[in-house]
Amino acid sequence: MTISREIDPAAKADIEKFERMLELYLNGELEEDRFRIFRLNNGIYGQRQGGHNQMVRVKIPYGRLQPEQLEMLAYIAETYSRGWAHITTRQNIQLHFVQLENIPQVMRDLNSVGLTTREACGDTVRNITGCHLAGACPYEVLDISPWAEATFRHLLRNPYSQRLPRKFKINFSGCATDCGQAMFNDVGVIAVMRPREDGTVEPGFRVFFAGGLGANPHAAQALEEFTPREQLLPTIEAALRTFDHYGNRDNKLRARMKWLLDTMGVDELRERILKERKLLLAATTWAEGIPETVQQEGDGPAGVSTAVDPT
């Protein structure tokens, strides 16, 4: 299958590095543990069946797929896997029984249609999920799609996303129904409105932090009542940096952000995130304002009048 789209230079560098590390590993010049961490950060899991069988996890940010991407996934499944794929609860696509030697070409094929496996596994920022009705829900305050896209682009290959204490999950929902389940993520974002003094309303977000299921389940805590649109990305990065600074690196079983909440308490963790945001906003390197992706795509709500059940 041939796609004419040029591969992103950063993605090309990722693939070339994977090829070099793979060659070292296959030649016995790279330890198993080092290669395991490296391939996990690139979205590649070893399978329990042994040999060179690998599971490839492909990020589908906020679940939006283009037709050419779906066609490419089908092509890869038929050519390098077993003709089928799994859709995960975090809106990823997983392909099983891909041979290790074929991974670089699979990565090239994926990147030719704008898809990546980068940071789909490991102690990184995992795939950013979003409400399945984004851009179509009659109840949404904002279309969260461009915001999820902007967050995905900002955090992909971000220095703070590479060696976290544990995985970090982010979710977006367009209204209070919270189809995206913001309450059970490390950072959950829900679009909300607040009244202005002149009687109009301002769209923005309510950001939640340190939610999670599994062992020691926690509902996420509200960071503040209202986060302006222009402060959303620095708020998310501030939460990520706080987790990177203070998260438990000695015990992976107690390393998620919900455990940090237990250790510090809600008020102290909230204060540290807000302090980190203040430092970020004061930095001369921070690009202020609404992200370019949001400006280009727009984030106006669907305003559809037909009855749609958001659940």
State whether 84 and 139 are in the same domain.
no
Q: How many domains does the chain have?
A: 2
CB 233 within 8 A of CB 293: no
* Pair of tokens at residue 299: 């984030």
Residues whose CB falls within 8 Å of the CB of residue 177, separated by 6 or more in sequence, listed in order = 139, 310, 311
CA distances from 169 to 81, 89, 183, 208, 294 (A): 27, 12, 11, 12, 21
State whether 153 and 271 are in the same domain.
yes
State whether 98 and 205 are in the same domain.
no
Please report whether residue 282 resides in a domain: yes
Of the residues 111, 138, 164, which one is the last residue of a structural domain? Answer: 111
Of the residues 51, 85, 111, which one is the last residue of a structural domain? Answer: 111
Please report whether residue 311 resides in a domain: no
State whether 107 and 134 are in the same domain.
no
Please report whether residue 308 resides in a domain: no
State whether 44 and 135 are in the same domain.
no
State whether 139 and 287 are in the same domain.
yes
Please report whether residue 121 resides in a domain: no
State whether 68 and 198 are in the same domain.
no
Domain that holds residue 49: 9-111
State whether 230 and 87 are in the same domain.
no
The pLDDT score that the predictor gives to residue 84 is 97
Residues whose CB falls within 8 Å of the CB of residue 59, separated by 6 or more in sequence, listed in order = 43, 92, 115, 116, 117, 118, 119, 120, 127, 152
CB 266 within 8 A of CB 260: no
State the residue for tokens 């109009």: 200
State whether 62 and 106 are in the same domain.
yes
State whether 107 and 133 are in the same domain.
no
**Number of helices and strands in the chain (H, E):** 9, 10
Tens of pLDDT along the chain (311 residues)? 655 567 789 999 999 999 999 999 999 999 999 999 999 999 999 998 878 999 999 999 999 999 999 999 999 999 999 999 999 999 999 999 999 999 999 999 999 999 999 999 999 999 999 999 999 999 999 999 999 999 999 999 999 999 999 999 999 999 999 998 999 999 999 999 999 999 999 999 999 999 999 888 989 999 999 999 999 999 999 999 999 999 999 999 999 999 999 999 999 999 999 999 999 999 878 877 899 999 999 999 986 444 445 45
State whether 178 and 33 are in the same domain.
no
Please report whether residue 117 resides in a domain: no
pTM (two decimals): 0.93
CA distances from 251 to 40, 216, 241, 242 (A): 19, 14, 19, 18
State whether 101 and 140 are in the same domain.
no
What is the identity of the amino acid at 176?
A
Please report whether residue 120 resides in a domain: no
